[in-house]
Structure 1
Amino acid sequence: MLAGGCLWANGGSDSSGDSDQLSVILIIPGNLGDKSFFDSANSGMEMIKKELGAKTKVIEAGTDSTMWEPALYDAIEGNWDIIITGSSMSELLNKVAPDFPEQRFINFDTTISETPANVYAMFYATNDVGFLAGTVAAAITGSNLPLAKKDDAIIGFLGGMDIPGINDFLVGYIEGALNVNPNVKVLVSYAGDFGDPAKGKELTLVQYKAGADVIYNVAGGTGLGLLDAAKAVDAYAIGVDSDQAMLFSETDPEKAEHIVTSTVKQMGQALLRAVRLHQEGKLPYGTYAVQGIVEGGVGLAKNKYYNSIMTSELKAIVDEAEAKIVNGEITVSSAFGMSSEQINALRESVSVK
């Protein structure tokens, strides 16, 4: 799905005029090592270098937002063909990009649909994939799985911050869970930080103790603490952005065995596809592309752990929900179309009284 006016790519020559090699730089408003969102974007850069032969560079701009604007201007002055950034830097990018009409930008994850003429923007339908996570969680709670608590239907959610981008996952998660079990309860915690695993572990240990069978990680690096907690108390977790079970399959297989699935943004493939289109002169700058389940932009990681933990009956519940989203039978609400009062009401409706 595309929106906006188009300015087509003019090929892949180096803007400095010194080389025909395509040059691409990624600015991350955070740090690598989260085994989630930013690492997924970095994997795209590795594919761009390997498959397209591009000169690449990754800048970790950190969590201090005052450093993001200088990092962006440094990249512009560096004469890169394409500058990739986004997420928390989306507003800054949209402010700066019009001042440099010859520079090409890719916004790798944004919720802002207004797109400058020299920016190609991508948005991932996190509400849809959150719905699938909620379906998995509600199918597990009360089931006969070995780590499921059979008395109360309680699941959990850990968000990095109480912001629309995180609550979009939450809205889908709650709706997906209610679609399976209208009596399910959802414990919700926000860490207020995307880089504090200790806080993530602390919050989720409380949720597990309160009866949650499975907790959904939507907290970036903070969520690594959730995965630690799941291993520590022998409980289920759902990962986010990357296939987090497979990321730990060799280094910490016991932890991986507690991660039922992950809601995956195919960010690496999306970036590779976008840069390849730029190289071919076909990338429609000035547009906003939605990457949903139908487009293959988001989905569940149905890996060996998922297939081992989930019974055929539980997998059938998930497959049915996914099919109904694809064929339009289920339309998932989005936090981006809801007021804070509506989101609060939804949270309250599934809270443990």
Structure 2
Amino acid sequence: MKKYLNLLLLMLIAVVAAACGNGEGSGTGSESDSGDALAVTLLVETTGDLSFNDSAVEGIAAAQEEYGDQVSTEVIEYGSDLSRMEGNFLDAADEGADVIIVPSQFVDLVATYAPDYPDTQFWLFDTDFDYEAGDYENVYSIVYSANEASYLGGYLAASTSESDVIGFLGGMDTNIIRDFYVGYAQGALEANPDIEIVSSFVGAWDDSARGKELGLSMYNQDASLVFNVAGGSGVGLIEAAVEQDRQVLGVDSDQAAMYEAQGQDDYAAVIPTSVLKNVGDSLNRAIGLHLEGNLSTGATDYLGLVEEGVGLADNDYFKEAYDQELIDETLEKRQQIIDGEIEVQSAYDMSPEEIEEVENSVRP
């Protein structure tokens, strides 16, 4: 982990220096015109969220280190101006990238343009894809079973809440974020049938001021811990937790470790664990499979606890926050999910009315 964090920090410095959020790219390995190297371009909105986007960047950095001159990588920030998405996407394709990796926001662009670039592979992460809608043999997608790891996070949160109130902060109100929520609620109710969950959505991924405001509101409603599923907006939530001496359940990356690596120990200390969506590992895995000739394009990979696509951060903060008995209980729940003894509900399989029913079951 430390090795990847160091790589990530170096990459972030390079990205900021070269791009400054304006959609320009920064090379992260060998030159883009280097021989037979696999040219991989990753597009993210911004770096520095210490969560989802940075995990993706970390995975690209890991692949560059692992595969050396077999891979040439580039990270492009398209920024908060969403009108730049299409231009940056098409620029990457026109410049001859072999693989273009993009998050779920690009699903419509991939559906529109992938057939026009048959020699380019388009990898979507954190979303499914409708392969029946056309000829998409050059498309690959990854879905993370975040509900499974969120169940474990909810179980821990409810088990240790003295107020019987916990919280949930989402960035945008989407099925992806609701999938975190329903697993979280199910695990919390398993641990404590009297648990209540206060929840809010920021409406943006990069509004830390609003994230802090909503976080303070939830802590003022006696939430002992709030689940941070808000991207860059969640930075404000963590600030609120530090001020209120409350806790945050991290998301996507091991957020405590990432803050600790930056010297922000006060931020790390309020994050007892994180629900991991192992984006970086999944992208590194996909690059490795592609180089071996074993990546199944034209299909979706579903990565859950079994595949280690999701999980919980196990670090010193985790061991200090929870006693061994609770850790063992949580590990037992994890194994029961893997063995199929516990079926975790998923927003992808639920109607809006069913999701609302879950919310009502834990609403204060």
TM-score by length of 2: 0.87
In 1: Cα distance, 2:284 partner to 2:246 partner: 36
Letter in structure 2 aligned against 1:110:
T
Structure 2 residues without counterparts, runs of 5 or longer: 1-29
Answer yes or no: is 1:112 the counterpart of 2:129. yes
> What's the RMSD between the two structures over aligned residues?
1.7
3-state SS of paired residue (1:111): coil
Q: Is the 8 A contact 2:50 2:259 kept in 1?
A: no
Q: Distance in 1 between matches of 2:168 and 2:129?
A: 25
Instruction: Specify which of 224, 247, 250 is matched with residue 236 of structure 1.
Output: 247
Q: What is the rounded CA distance, in whole Å, between the counterparts of 2:256 and 2:34 in structure 1?
A: 43
1:226 aligns with 2:237: yes
1:42 and 2:53 aligned: no
1:90 counterpart = 2:107: yes
In 1, Cα distance between equivalents of 2:172 and 2:356: 14
Residue among 294, 302, 310 paired with 1:298: 310
What are structure 1's unaligned runs of at least 5 residues?
1-13, 143-151
Q: Deviations over 1:205-239 (max 9, x none)?
A: 11111111111000000011111111111111110
Tell me which amino acid in the other structure corresponds to 2:47: L
Match of 1:11 in 2: none
With a CA cutoff of 8 Å and minimum separation of 6, indicate the structure with the bigger relative contact order. Answer: 1
1:217 & 1:18 partners in 2: Cα distance?
A: 40
Q: Percent identity?
A: 41
Q: Does 1:171 align with 2:182?
A: yes
CA distance in 1, matches of 2:34, 2:177: 43
Structure 1 residue 18 displacement after superposition: 7.1
Task: Give CA-to-partner distance per residue, 1:150-190, whole Å, 9 cap, x none.
Answer: xx311100000111111100000000101111111000111
Shift of 1:113: 5.3
How do 1:128-147 residues align onto structure 2 when only pairs under 5 Å count?
128-142=148-162
Aligned residue for 2:6? none
2:297 pairs with 1:285: yes
Q: 2:119 aligns with which of 96, 102, 123?
A: 102
Contact 1:86 1:93 in 2 (8 A): no
1:91 deviation in Å? 2.5
Matched with 2:35 is 19
Q: What secondary structure is seen at the aligned counterpart in 2 of 1:171?
A: helix
1:322 Cα offset (Å)? 0.8
- Size of the alignment, in residue pairs? 328
Aligned counterparts of 2:186 and 2:79: Cα–Cα separation in 1 = 34
In the alignment, is the contact (CA less than 8 A) between 1:24 and 1:80 conserved in 2? Answer: yes
Structure 1 window deviating more from structure 2 (104-113 vs 35-44): it is 104-113
Query: In structure 2, how many angstroms separate the alpha carbons of the residues matched to 1:255 and 1:66?
Result: 33
Give the distance between the partners of 2:39 and 2:287, measured in 1 at CA: 10
Contact 2:183 2:345 survives alignment (8 Å): yes
Aligned with 1:123: secondary structure? strand
Secondary structure of 1:211's match? coil
Using the alignment, how far apart are the partners of 1:232 and 1:224 within structure 2? 13
For residues 161 and 20 of structure 1, the distance between their equivalents in structure 2, rounded to whole angstroms, comes to 40
Structure 2 matches for 1:1-353, cutoff 5 A?
19-28=35-44, 30-53=45-68, 54-112=71-129, 114=131, 116-142=136-162, 152-250=163-261, 251-352=263-364
- CA gap 1:280/1:212 in 2 versus in 1, 3 angstroms: same
In structure 1, C-alpha distance between the alignment counterparts of 2:34 and 2:217, rounded to whole Å: 57
Distance 1:156 1:317 in 2: 22
Separation (CA, whole Å) in 2 of partners of 1:172 and 1:92:
30
After superposition, the C-alpha distances for 1:62-88 in whole angstroms (9 at most, x for unaligned) are 233322111111111111111111221
Distance, in Å, in 2 between the alignment partners of 1:225 and 1:321 is 31
| CA distance in 2 between partners of 1:317 and 1:92 (Å) | 44
Structure 2 counterpart SS, 1:285: coil
In 2, are the aligned partners of 1:27 and 1:85 still within 8 Å (CA)? yes
> Secondary structure of 2:272's match?
strand
Q: Which moved more, 1:195-204 or 1:114-123?
A: 114-123
Cα distance per residue 1:247-287 (max 9 Å; x no partner) = 11141112211101001122112111111121122211111
1:79 match: secondary structure = coil
